[in-house]
Protein backbone atom coordinates (compact mmCIF):
# COMPACT_ATOMS: atom_id res chain seq x y z
CA UNK A 1 0.00 0.00 0.00
CA UNK A 2 1.31 3.42 -0.98
CA UNK A 3 -0.33 6.81 -0.49
CA UNK A 4 0.20 8.90 -3.64
CA UNK A 5 -2.02 11.82 -2.65
CA UNK A 6 -3.48 12.83 0.71
CA UNK A 7 -6.07 15.59 1.08
CA UNK A 8 -7.17 16.75 4.54
CA UNK A 9 -10.06 19.13 5.13
CA UNK A 10 -11.27 20.80 8.36
CA UNK A 11 -9.09 18.61 10.58
CA UNK A 12 -7.80 20.48 13.65
CA UNK A 13 -5.85 23.48 12.26
CA UNK A 14 -5.61 21.94 8.77
CA UNK A 15 -8.21 23.78 6.69
CA UNK A 16 -7.41 22.35 3.28
CA UNK A 17 -4.11 20.52 2.97
CA UNK A 18 -2.89 18.43 0.06
CA UNK A 19 0.40 16.52 -0.12
CA UNK A 20 1.88 14.08 -2.62
CA UNK A 21 4.11 11.74 -0.61
CA UNK A 22 6.79 9.48 -2.06
CA UNK A 23 6.97 5.73 -1.53
CA UNK A 24 10.04 6.04 0.71
CA UNK A 25 10.45 8.49 3.60
CA UNK A 26 8.34 11.60 4.00
CA UNK A 27 9.80 14.02 6.55
CA UNK A 28 7.34 16.53 8.00
CA UNK A 29 9.07 19.44 9.75
CA UNK A 30 7.41 22.12 11.86
CA UNK A 31 7.31 23.86 15.22
CA UNK A 32 5.14 22.61 18.06
CA UNK A 33 1.51 23.40 17.29
CA UNK A 34 2.15 23.91 13.57
CA UNK A 35 0.01 20.93 12.53
CA UNK A 36 2.67 18.35 11.66
CA UNK A 37 1.33 15.74 14.10
CA UNK A 38 -2.21 16.49 12.89
CA UNK A 39 -1.17 15.34 9.42
CA UNK A 40 -0.16 11.96 10.86
CA UNK A 41 -3.34 11.87 12.93
CA UNK A 42 -5.47 12.44 9.82
CA UNK A 43 -3.63 9.69 7.91
CA UNK A 44 -4.14 7.43 10.93
CA UNK A 45 -7.90 7.67 10.33
CA UNK A 46 -7.43 5.84 7.03
CA UNK A 47 -5.94 2.84 8.81
CA UNK A 48 -7.92 2.81 12.06
CA UNK A 49 -10.95 5.12 11.58
CA UNK A 50 -9.94 6.82 14.84
CA UNK A 51 -7.34 9.15 16.30
CA UNK A 52 -4.21 8.16 18.21
CA UNK A 53 -4.41 11.41 20.22
CA UNK A 54 -8.07 11.72 21.23
CA UNK A 55 -10.89 9.33 22.06
CA UNK A 56 -13.53 11.76 20.76
CA UNK A 57 -13.85 12.29 17.03
CA UNK A 58 -15.53 15.67 17.42
CA UNK A 59 -12.37 17.00 19.10
CA UNK A 60 -10.44 16.83 15.83
CA UNK A 61 -13.10 18.61 13.75
CA UNK A 62 -12.12 22.20 13.10
CA UNK A 63 -13.95 24.83 15.15
CA UNK A 64 -17.37 25.77 13.73
CA UNK A 65 -17.23 23.00 11.10
CA UNK A 66 -19.64 20.08 10.90
CA UNK A 67 -17.23 17.34 9.82
CA UNK A 68 -13.71 16.54 8.67
CA UNK A 69 -12.66 14.61 5.58
CA UNK A 70 -9.52 12.67 4.72
CA UNK A 71 -9.13 11.50 1.13
CA UNK A 72 -6.30 9.53 -0.47
CA UNK A 73 -5.27 8.22 -3.85
CA UNK A 74 -3.30 5.02 -3.36
CA UNK A 75 -1.48 2.29 -5.20
CA UNK A 76 -2.00 -1.24 -3.91
CA UNK A 77 -0.12 -4.02 -5.73
CA UNK A 78 -0.20 -1.95 -8.91
CA UNK A 79 -3.91 -1.16 -8.59
CA UNK A 80 -5.13 2.40 -8.11
CA UNK A 81 -7.50 3.06 -5.21
CA UNK A 82 -9.45 6.11 -4.04
CA UNK A 83 -10.14 6.02 -0.33
CA UNK A 84 -11.85 8.46 1.99
CA UNK A 85 -13.32 8.85 5.45
CA UNK A 86 -15.57 11.49 6.97
CA UNK A 87 -16.55 11.93 10.62
CA UNK A 88 -19.19 14.43 11.71
CA UNK A 89 -20.12 16.03 15.03
CA UNK A 90 -22.57 13.22 15.80
CA UNK A 91 -19.73 10.66 15.48
CA UNK A 92 -21.30 9.18 12.34
CA UNK A 93 -18.73 7.74 9.96
CA UNK A 94 -18.86 7.50 6.17
CA UNK A 95 -16.13 5.66 4.30
CA UNK A 96 -15.59 5.70 0.57
CA UNK A 97 -13.76 3.07 -1.46
CA UNK A 98 -13.54 3.84 -5.18
CA UNK A 99 -16.79 5.82 -5.03
CA UNK A 100 -18.71 3.21 -3.04
CA UNK A 101 -19.92 4.68 0.26
CA UNK A 102 -20.41 2.67 3.44
CA UNK A 103 -20.96 3.12 7.17
CA UNK A 104 -18.65 0.17 7.94
CA UNK A 105 -15.19 1.46 8.78
CA UNK A 106 -13.71 -2.04 8.44
CA UNK A 107 -14.21 -1.85 4.67
CA UNK A 108 -11.67 0.98 4.61
CA UNK A 109 -9.18 -0.04 7.28
CA UNK A 110 -8.83 -3.56 5.89
CA UNK A 111 -7.18 -1.97 2.85
CA UNK A 112 -4.73 0.23 4.77
CA UNK A 113 -2.24 -1.63 7.01
CA UNK A 114 -0.88 1.18 9.15
CA UNK A 115 1.13 1.55 12.35
CA UNK A 116 2.00 4.57 14.51
CA UNK A 117 4.97 5.19 16.81
CA UNK A 118 4.89 8.17 19.18
CA UNK A 119 6.60 9.44 22.36
CA UNK A 120 3.75 7.73 24.25
CA UNK A 121 4.38 4.33 22.65
CA UNK A 122 6.02 3.04 25.83
CA UNK A 123 2.52 3.21 27.37
CA UNK A 124 1.76 0.09 25.35
CA UNK A 125 3.87 -1.88 27.82
CA UNK A 126 3.10 0.05 31.00
CA UNK A 127 -0.64 0.39 30.35
CA UNK A 128 -3.54 -2.04 30.40
CA UNK A 129 -3.56 -5.34 28.46
CA UNK A 130 -6.33 -3.93 26.23
CA UNK A 131 -3.78 -1.96 24.20
CA UNK A 132 -1.59 -5.02 23.74
CA UNK A 133 -4.58 -7.10 22.64
CA UNK A 134 -5.34 -4.42 20.06
CA UNK A 135 -1.78 -4.70 18.82
CA UNK A 136 -2.12 -8.45 18.35
CA UNK A 137 -5.54 -8.13 16.75
CA UNK A 138 -4.20 -5.57 14.24
CA UNK A 139 -1.80 -8.16 12.86
CA UNK A 140 -4.42 -10.88 12.78
CA UNK A 141 -6.95 -8.58 11.13
CA UNK A 142 -4.57 -8.02 8.21
CA UNK A 143 -3.19 -11.57 7.97
CA UNK A 144 -6.01 -13.96 8.98
CA UNK A 145 -9.20 -13.29 7.03
CA UNK A 146 -11.41 -15.27 9.44
CA UNK A 147 -10.15 -13.63 12.62
CA UNK A 148 -12.45 -10.60 12.44
CA UNK A 149 -15.50 -12.87 12.24
CA UNK A 150 -14.32 -14.95 15.20
CA UNK A 151 -13.52 -12.00 17.48
CA UNK A 152 -16.75 -10.22 16.49
CA UNK A 153 -18.84 -13.24 17.42
CA UNK A 154 -16.99 -13.67 20.70
CA UNK A 155 -17.45 -10.00 21.58
CA UNK A 156 -21.19 -10.17 20.91
CA UNK A 157 -21.62 -13.29 23.05
CA UNK A 158 -19.52 -11.78 25.83
CA UNK A 159 -21.56 -8.55 25.87
CA UNK A 160 -24.84 -10.46 25.91
CA UNK A 161 -23.76 -12.80 28.70
CA UNK A 162 -22.39 -9.89 30.76
CA UNK A 163 -25.65 -7.99 30.29
CA UNK A 164 -27.63 -10.97 31.56
CA UNK A 165 -25.26 -11.39 34.50
CA UNK A 166 -25.73 -7.76 35.49
CA UNK A 167 -29.49 -7.94 35.06
CA UNK A 168 -30.16 -11.24 36.77
CA UNK A 169 -27.00 -12.35 38.53
CA UNK A 170 -27.86 -15.94 37.58
CA UNK A 171 -29.14 -18.06 34.70
CA UNK A 172 -31.68 -20.80 34.30
CA UNK A 173 -29.83 -24.09 33.79
CA UNK A 174 -30.55 -24.29 30.05
CA UNK A 175 -29.62 -20.65 29.44
CA UNK A 176 -26.44 -20.97 31.49
CA UNK A 177 -25.11 -23.90 29.50
CA UNK A 178 -26.06 -22.27 26.19
CA UNK A 179 -24.14 -19.05 26.87
CA UNK A 180 -21.16 -20.82 28.41
CA UNK A 181 -20.82 -23.10 25.41
CA UNK A 182 -21.10 -20.21 22.96
CA UNK A 183 -18.53 -18.13 24.82
CA UNK A 184 -16.17 -21.10 25.02
CA UNK A 185 -16.60 -21.98 21.35
CA UNK A 186 -15.76 -18.55 19.93
CA UNK A 187 -13.27 -17.81 22.71
CA UNK A 188 -11.21 -20.87 21.82
CA UNK A 189 -11.13 -19.71 18.19
CA UNK A 190 -9.85 -16.26 19.19
CA UNK A 191 -7.30 -17.77 21.56
CA UNK A 192 -5.97 -20.14 18.91
CA UNK A 193 -5.47 -17.31 16.43
CA UNK A 194 -3.69 -15.10 18.99
CA UNK A 195 -1.44 -17.82 20.36
CA UNK A 196 -0.39 -18.89 16.86
CA UNK A 197 0.25 -15.27 15.89
CA UNK A 198 2.44 -14.55 18.93
CA UNK A 199 4.56 -17.61 18.19
CA UNK A 200 4.86 -16.50 14.55
CA UNK A 201 6.01 -12.94 15.24
CA UNK A 202 8.22 -13.80 18.23
CA UNK A 203 11.32 -14.70 16.15
CA UNK A 204 11.05 -11.38 14.29
CA UNK A 205 10.80 -9.42 17.55
CA UNK A 206 13.75 -11.24 19.14
CA UNK A 207 15.87 -10.66 16.05
CA UNK A 208 15.05 -6.93 16.10
CA UNK A 209 15.88 -6.70 19.80
CA UNK A 210 19.36 -8.08 19.11
CA UNK A 211 19.98 -4.88 17.13
CA UNK A 212 17.93 -2.45 19.23
CA UNK A 213 18.65 -3.62 22.80
CA UNK A 214 21.50 -6.15 22.65
CA UNK A 215 22.34 -5.60 26.31
CA UNK A 216 19.17 -7.41 27.44
CA UNK A 217 17.79 -10.92 27.07
CA UNK A 218 14.00 -10.81 26.63
CA UNK A 219 11.35 -13.45 27.24
CA UNK A 220 8.09 -13.12 25.30
CA UNK A 221 5.01 -15.10 26.29
CA UNK A 222 1.30 -15.18 25.54
CA UNK A 223 -1.31 -15.24 28.31
CA UNK A 224 -4.64 -16.49 27.03
CA UNK A 225 -6.86 -15.09 29.80
CA UNK A 226 -7.51 -18.15 31.95
CA UNK A 227 -5.48 -20.70 33.89
CA UNK A 228 -3.22 -23.19 32.18
CA UNK A 229 -4.21 -26.83 31.98
CA UNK A 230 -7.94 -26.28 31.49
CA UNK A 231 -10.22 -25.60 28.58
CA UNK A 232 -12.17 -22.36 28.43
CA UNK A 233 -15.46 -24.15 29.14
CA UNK A 234 -13.90 -25.63 32.30
CA UNK A 235 -12.59 -22.23 33.38
CA UNK A 236 -15.99 -20.64 32.79
CA UNK A 237 -17.71 -23.34 34.89
CA UNK A 238 -15.16 -22.83 37.67
CA UNK A 239 -15.79 -19.08 37.65
CA UNK A 240 -19.62 -19.18 37.53
CA UNK A 241 -20.15 -18.04 41.10
CA UNK A 242 -17.61 -15.23 40.81
CA UNK A 243 -19.07 -14.09 37.47
CA UNK A 244 -22.56 -13.97 38.98
CA UNK A 245 -21.28 -11.99 41.95
CA UNK A 246 -19.44 -9.35 39.93
CA UNK A 247 -21.76 -9.25 36.92
CA UNK A 248 -19.22 -9.99 34.20
CA UNK A 249 -17.07 -12.79 32.79
CA UNK A 250 -13.76 -12.87 34.61
CA UNK A 251 -11.89 -15.19 32.26
CA UNK A 252 -11.52 -15.63 28.53
CA UNK A 253 -9.57 -14.09 25.66
CA UNK A 254 -10.91 -10.63 26.60
CA UNK A 255 -8.38 -10.93 29.45
CA UNK A 256 -5.54 -12.08 27.17
CA UNK A 257 -2.12 -10.43 26.98
CA UNK A 258 1.36 -10.58 25.49
CA UNK A 259 4.04 -10.29 28.15
CA UNK A 260 7.66 -9.17 27.99
CA UNK A 261 10.16 -10.04 30.72
CA UNK A 262 13.85 -9.50 31.43
CA UNK A 263 15.39 -12.15 33.72
CA UNK A 264 11.93 -13.16 34.86
CA UNK A 265 10.84 -9.61 35.73
CA UNK A 266 8.29 -7.52 33.78
CA UNK A 267 10.26 -5.45 31.27
CA UNK A 268 8.69 -2.14 32.28
CA UNK A 269 10.07 -2.61 35.80
CA UNK A 270 13.64 -3.11 34.58
CA UNK A 271 14.38 -0.93 31.57
CA UNK A 272 14.16 2.82 30.95
CA UNK A 273 11.38 4.66 29.13
CA UNK A 274 13.56 5.10 26.04
CA UNK A 275 14.39 1.39 26.07
CA UNK A 276 10.71 0.57 26.44
CA UNK A 277 10.07 2.59 23.28
CA UNK A 278 12.66 0.50 21.44
CA UNK A 279 11.00 -2.67 22.73
CA UNK A 280 7.71 -1.40 21.29
CA UNK A 281 9.52 -0.48 18.05
CA UNK A 282 10.93 -4.02 17.80
CA UNK A 283 7.45 -5.48 18.39
CA UNK A 284 5.68 -3.25 15.86
CA UNK A 285 8.44 -3.86 13.35
CA UNK A 286 8.08 -7.62 13.89
CA UNK A 287 4.37 -7.37 13.09
CA UNK A 288 5.16 -5.44 9.89
CA UNK A 289 7.86 -7.94 8.89
CA UNK A 290 5.49 -10.86 9.41
CA UNK A 291 2.75 -9.07 7.47
CA UNK A 292 5.15 -8.57 4.56
CA UNK A 293 6.32 -12.20 4.66
CA UNK A 294 2.79 -13.64 4.76
CA UNK A 295 0.87 -11.33 2.44
CA UNK A 296 3.46 -9.22 0.59
CA UNK A 297 1.57 -6.14 1.84
CA UNK A 298 3.50 -2.94 2.44
CA UNK A 299 2.69 -1.08 5.64
CA UNK A 300 2.31 2.67 6.13
CA UNK A 301 4.28 3.67 9.22
CA UNK A 302 3.78 6.96 11.07
CA UNK A 303 6.59 8.11 13.38
CA UNK A 304 5.67 11.16 15.43
CA UNK A 305 8.52 13.06 17.09
CA UNK A 306 10.95 10.22 16.44
CA UNK A 307 13.80 12.04 18.19
CA UNK A 308 12.14 11.98 21.62
CA UNK A 309 14.29 9.89 24.00
CA UNK A 310 15.96 8.00 21.13
CA UNK A 311 19.56 8.56 20.09
CA UNK A 312 20.61 8.90 16.46
CA UNK A 313 21.90 5.32 16.19
CA UNK A 314 18.60 3.85 17.47
CA UNK A 315 16.53 6.09 15.19
CA UNK A 316 18.53 5.15 12.14
CA UNK A 317 18.45 1.40 12.94
CA UNK A 318 14.66 1.53 13.28
CA UNK A 319 14.18 3.41 10.01
CA UNK A 320 16.60 1.17 8.11
CA UNK A 321 14.71 -1.95 9.15
CA UNK A 322 11.37 -0.37 8.21
CA UNK A 323 12.75 0.54 4.79
CA UNK A 324 13.76 -3.11 4.29
CA UNK A 325 10.06 -4.04 4.56
CA UNK A 326 9.25 -1.45 1.83
CA UNK A 327 7.06 0.45 4.28
CA UNK A 328 6.06 4.00 3.39
CA UNK A 329 7.20 6.27 6.22
CA UNK A 330 5.91 9.59 7.53
CA UNK A 331 8.26 11.10 10.12
CA UNK A 332 7.72 14.33 12.04
CA UNK A 333 10.41 16.46 13.67
CA UNK A 334 10.67 20.00 14.99
CA UNK A 335 13.73 20.78 12.86
CA UNK A 336 15.91 19.15 10.22
CA UNK A 337 18.86 19.00 12.66
CA UNK A 338 17.06 16.12 14.41
CA UNK A 339 17.42 14.12 11.20
CA UNK A 340 21.18 14.19 10.70
CA UNK A 341 20.99 10.92 8.77
CA UNK A 342 18.52 12.23 6.18
CA UNK A 343 21.09 12.46 3.39
CA UNK A 344 21.73 8.71 3.27
CA UNK A 345 18.25 8.05 1.89
CA UNK A 346 17.60 8.58 -1.80
CA UNK A 347 13.81 8.16 -1.96
CA UNK A 348 12.55 10.93 0.29
CA UNK A 349 10.53 14.12 0.43
CA UNK A 350 10.60 16.99 2.89
CA UNK A 351 7.49 18.94 3.87
CA UNK A 352 7.43 22.10 6.00
CA UNK A 353 4.35 22.84 8.11
CA UNK A 354 3.56 26.32 9.45
CA UNK A 355 0.25 27.44 10.96
CA UNK A 356 -1.63 24.58 9.28
CA UNK A 357 -0.15 25.17 5.82
CA UNK A 358 2.19 22.69 4.12
CA UNK A 359 4.87 23.33 1.54
CA UNK A 360 7.03 20.72 -0.12
CA UNK A 361 10.72 21.49 -0.31
CA UNK A 362 11.86 21.31 -3.93
- Cβ(6)–Cβ(18) below 8 Å: yes
Domains and CATH numbers, the chain: 1-113+298-362 (3.40.50.300), 125-296 (1.20.1050.90)
Task: Tell me the DSSP string of 79-103.
Answer: EEEEEEEEEETT--EEEEETTEEES
pLDDT in tens, 297-335: 999 999 998 766 677 788 888 999 999 999 999 999 887
pLDDT in tens, 12-50: 999 999 999 999 999 999 998 999 999 999 999 999 999
- Whether the pTM exceeds 0.85: the reply is yes
Which segments in the chain show pLDDT lower than 50? none
Q: At what angle do helices 129-143 and 173-212 cross, to 10 degrees?
A: 90
Amino acid sequence: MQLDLVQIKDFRNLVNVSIEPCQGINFIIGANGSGKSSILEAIHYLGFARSFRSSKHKNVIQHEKDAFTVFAKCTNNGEGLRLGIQRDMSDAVTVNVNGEKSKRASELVSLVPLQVFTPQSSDLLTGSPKSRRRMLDWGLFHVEHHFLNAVSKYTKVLKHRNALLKERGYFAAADKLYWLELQAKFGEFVDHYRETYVEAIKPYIIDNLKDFLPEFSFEISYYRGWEKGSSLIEALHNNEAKDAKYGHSGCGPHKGDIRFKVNGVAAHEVISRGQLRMLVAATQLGAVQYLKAQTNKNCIFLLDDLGAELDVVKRQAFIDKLIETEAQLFITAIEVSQLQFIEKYTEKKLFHVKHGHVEEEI
